[in-house]
Every structure is written in C-alpha cells, then in structure tokens.
Structure 1
Amino acid sequence: MATKNKNLSDYDKATVPNAKDLRFGIVVSEWNSNITEGLYKGAEETLLDCGAQSSNIVRWNVPGSFELTFGCKKMLQQKNVDAVIAIGSVIQGETKHFDFVCDATAQGIKDLNVLHDIPVIFCVLTDNNMQQAIDRSGGKYGNKGSEAAIAAIKMAVLGK
C-alpha cells in the first residue's frame, strides 16, 4: 500500500512557494460526499495555510467523479485560475463500473493537462472500500486533499 506509514497531510512549508497571489479552482464531486468534503477541507486549509486568500479559491460541485473532467474544463474556460484541483472518490463495487469511471476520470484529467496551460491536479481517491477512503480523506493516513493543494501550488508556480 503506497500510503502505509505516510501521512498525506505532511508538508514542509519551507519548500512550498507562497500562494498569496495565486487563484485556485476546486471542482468537487458530490458522490461519496462524506469523503469528498473531507478532501475539500484538507485542500482548502492547506491552500490557506500556504498563503492563498479565501477570495482566490473558487469551488464548484459536480454530481460525480465522471463529471469532474467537464467541470474542470469549464473552470479553466470561465475562471481566471492558476490551477484547478479535481476532488472525487470512487469506491470499488461489485461491477466493472468502478474501472470505467476511474479510467475515464484519470484520462480526462490527463487530457486537460495536455490541452491547457493551467494545471489540473488529480485528487480522486480510487479505493477498494470505504475504510481506505476514510483513512485518506482526513483519517489515519492524513488527507490527500492537502497533498493535492501542495501539488497545485507548485504546479501553478511552474506554469507561470
């Protein structure tokens, strides 16, 4: 397990650029909202901790992880942002639906990064069960949202 003995919320603030002049879009899936709200909270708190102004953080909701690509695309087109974070949670079920949603979402976010000059950060948990998602959205392994926020800051600076 990649996150074993690693807290996703740990970061060295000295190695993170100041985000005070950066604008961020965050697109959040409403599906598995008990998980995605935790991820959003981790991302928002980390951005603020690193200097971002709350007025420079724009949040949009979409129904599910599959819809993140479209939401992020519209965020890139309509808002003046330096980076976008796509937040979602897909949990393995009894059918292949999990595989199709995970693959389409990952490929869609990748395509946005290839087509646009503004980074889109993949913060979509693809877990085998609810406990794994809880552990990575503010639980015992910290918060993947925090990790995504650090990536967004670093990539936004790289993109400037």
Structure 2
Amino acid sequence: MPHHNVKTHAGQISAAGKRFALIASRFNDFMVDKLVEGAIDGLLRTGAREADIELYRCPGAFEIAGLARRAADSGRFDAIVCLGVVIRGATPHFDLVVGQATAAVAAIAAEGKVAVGNGIVACETMEQAIERAGSKAGNRGYDAALVAAEMAQLYATAFSQ
C-alpha cells in the first residue's frame, strides 16, 4: 500500500540503551519461567545489557498490573514486560483474572508514559500454555519483550522533532 509523501514514524526493534522491568507471576511458574527466559533472550539479542534488565516476581497474574504500575511510576524504566500464564479451570475465575489483568496492563500502556509489552498468556489447556512458552507456538515472552523494546524506541524518538 503506498504511503504517498507522509512523514512516517515507526519503531526499530532495539533494546540498546534502554532499561527494562520484567514483571512475572509465580503462579504456573513452570511456564512463566520459560516466558521470562524468552523475554531476557529477546532483549539481549536486540542490544540490552543484563544490567539494564530487572526481574520482579509477584504471586499471580492479577497482581502483575499493580507491580507494573509501581515500576512505571518509578521513572526508572523505559519499558515494562508483563509475563504470566492463566489456564482455564472449572470455574469462572479464569475469565475474571484474565479480563482484569489484561485490562489493567492495557490501561498502563494506554497512558503512553512507558512502553509496555503484554505477555500474559490465557490458555484453555496446559498443552496450549506449554506451546506458547517456547515450543510449537513460539515464546510469547520473547514476543512481548520485542514489542516493549520497539515501543520504547518509538516513544523516545517519535515526538522529539
């Protein structure tokens, strides 16, 4: 599709020179740990230094947004990567947790003060969760980290001219 002669701003996937907070739940830690590994791998591959990545653990997916809000308000980070795994059970609890957790993370992102990558994975089965944590369906932690890096770079450059 042609873009005519409009000035276009797009982020580059580069984590170089940026500081990142990874907010990860402990619930379903077997899968969440894989998301964390993927996120760190993605950030390092795109130029981040280990010293510029901090990992914060919280009990479950519902608590991710509160910790992410504190990280955003601290002014210490260019981007936040939220990581969790919620698997449907026999009660409506799944829908409540997933809906509230993702809406709260999205609200932080929508403020536009700090870049946010949402790697909260909602799955019907344990098999789906394993697939999204690094097997058949890729690693959603890696993907969320790259989104955060790209948006942090875009935030830093898009409105500076």
In structure 1, stretches of 5+ residues that fail to align are: 1-14
8 Å CA contact retained: 1:16, 1:50: no
Letter in 1 for 2:84: G
Aligned pairs, number: 146
Is 1:56 aligned to residue 61 of structure 2? no
Summarize the alignment of residues 3-152 of structure 1 with structure 2, pairs less than 5 Å apart: 16-152=12-148
Deviates more, 1:123-132 or 1:138-147: 138-147
Q: How far is the alpha carbon of 1:115 from its aligned partner?
A: 3.1
Once residues 148 and 130 of structure 2 are traced to their aligned partners in structure 1, the CA distance between those partners, rounded to angstroms, is 22
The alignment's TM-score, normalised by the length of structure 2, stands at 0.87
Query: Percent of counterpart pairs with the same letter?
Result: 31
Once residues 20 and 122 of structure 1 are traced to their aligned partners in structure 2, the CA distance between those partners, rounded to angstroms, is 20
Once residues 124 and 84 of structure 2 are traced to their aligned partners in structure 1, the CA distance between those partners, rounded to angstroms, is 14
Alpha-carbon RMSD across the aligned residues, in angstroms, is: 1.3
C-alpha distance after superposition, 1:11-45 (max 9, x if no partner): xxxx9433221111100000000010000000001
Q: Secondary structure at the match of 2:68?
A: helix
Deviates more, 1:134-143 or 1:72-81: 72-81
The alignment's TM-score, normalised by the length of structure 1, stands at 0.87
